[in-house]
Chain A
Amino acid sequence: MIVFDKPKSLSDVPLHYCPGCTHGIVHRLVAQAIDALDIEKDTIGIASVGCSVFAYNYFECDMIQAAHGRAPAVATGVKRTHPDKIVFTYQGDGDLAAIGTAETVHACTRGENITIIFINNAIYGMTGGQMAPTTLPGQVTTTSPYGRKPEIQGNPIRICEMLSTLEGVAYAERVSVDTPKNVLNAKRAIQKAFQNQIDKKGLSIIEVLSTCPTNWGMTPNDALGWVRDVMMPYYPLGVYKDITAKGGNK
C-alpha cells in the first residue's frame, strides 16, 4: 500500500531549486491540496518572479506567468472573468511585499476569491541574496552587507498581521516548513486556503516561513534551524484571521 507518493498535479519535471530549498516542499503541498480537492482541471496558477518563476513548469494545471508583483492583479483578471475556476498565486517576499504590495493589499481589500501562497525567506534568492522587505534587523545580505540597519533601511514588514486588518481577507495564517510536524500543519492550512476558495469565502493567504540555504550561507538543515530560532520569534506562527472559525476572527 502506497503511503506517500508524488502528487499527480505536480509535474514529472526535476525542480531547479537549490538543494534543501523549501520551495520544493511547498510546491508539493500545493499540488497535494489540488489533488485532494480534485480541482486540477479547473485550476489556473499564476507564477510570479523570483526563484519560483518556473512554477509554470511544475504544476499540471493551466499556468500564467505574471510580471513581478502583479500576480494578484493578473489573478483578479482571471477569477473575475471565470468565477467558477480556482485561481492561486505563488509569490516570494520581493514579489508580494515590495513591488507588489499595492496589488497584494488591494486584492485583499476587494476580497478577491483567490488563494495566495506567500513564500517568506527573508531574502531575494533569484537575484543573488539581496535584502527583502522581510529581511530581519541585523541580517547580512548583499545590499545590507553590515546587517540591516532599521534607522537607514527600515524594519521588516509582517504581512499576515497587516493583511488581517482588511475586511476582504477571509483567512490569513503563517506557517512554517522547518519540521515534519510544521510541514503537515502547512499542508492543512494550504488545503484549507483552497477549500475556502471553493466555498467562496474571500481571499485566503498562507505565509510560509521558508529557507534560502544558498544565500543565507548555511546547510539546508542549519537553515531550517535559522527559521526556527531567528525567524519565528519575529514572525510568529498562527492564524491571524479566519472568518470560518467559531466566533469569526482568531
Chain B
Amino acid sequence: MNKVTFSKDLCKGCGLCVTVCPKKIIVIAKDTFNLKGYHPAEIIDMEKCIACAMCATMCPDSVIKVEKNV
C-alpha cells in the first residue's frame, strides 16, 4: 500500500493539495483545527493513493511525506 503522511500542525489549509490530487482523496477537515488554528488537509481514502506525490509537489509548507509500497 502507498502511504501519505501529513504533518497536521504545519498545514495552513491552503487547499492546493486538494485540487491537484488525481484520485480526489484529500479534503480540508472542516471539523478539526490544528495548533495554529487552521483546518488541516487530510487523506480520506489511503487505499486509493497512487503515490504520485502531486500533493507534496504543490504543498508550500512541506507538510506531506509520500511513501510507496510500505
Chain A bound to chain B: yes
Q: Give residues 47-65 of B contacting A (CB, 8 Å).
A: 51, 53-54, 56-62, 64-65
Query: What separation, in Å, do the CA atoms of A74 and B60 have in the docked complex?
Result: 28
A1-21 vs B, CB cutoff 8 Å, 1 = contact: the mask equals 111111000100011011111
Do A4 and B15 form a contact, CB below 8 Å, given A15-B60, A22-B60, A180-B57?
no
Interface residues on A, range: 20 to 34
A70 adjacent to chain B (CB < 8 Å): no
Whether B20 contacts A23 by the Cβ 8 Å rule is: no
Whether B15 contacts A220 by the Cβ 8 Å rule is: yes
Q: Give residues 129-186 of A contacting B (CB, 8 Å).
A: 179-180, 183-184
Query: What separation, in Å, do the CA atoms of A224 and B69 have in the docked complex?
Result: 32
Contacting residues, chain B, for A180 (C-beta < 8 A): 20, 54, 57-58
Number of A-B contacts (CB under 8 A): 68
- Give chain A nearest CB distance to B36 CB in angstroms: 8
Interface size, chain B (Cβ < 8 Å): 26
Whether B56 contacts A4 by the Cβ 8 Å rule is: yes
Do A2 and B20 form a contact, CB below 8 Å, given A180-B54, A180-B57?
no
Contacting residues, chain A, for B54 (C-beta < 8 A): 180
A111 adjacent to chain B (CB < 8 Å): no
In the complex, the chain A residue whose C-beta lies closest to that of B70 is A1
B16 adjacent to chain A (CB < 8 Å): yes
Which residues from chain B sit less than 8 Å from chain A, CB to CB? Answer: 10, 12-16, 19-20, 38, 51, 53-54, 56-62, 64-70
Which residues from chain A sit less than 8 Å from chain B, CB to CB? Answer: 1-6, 10, 14-15, 17-25, 28, 179-180, 183-184, 213, 219-221, 224
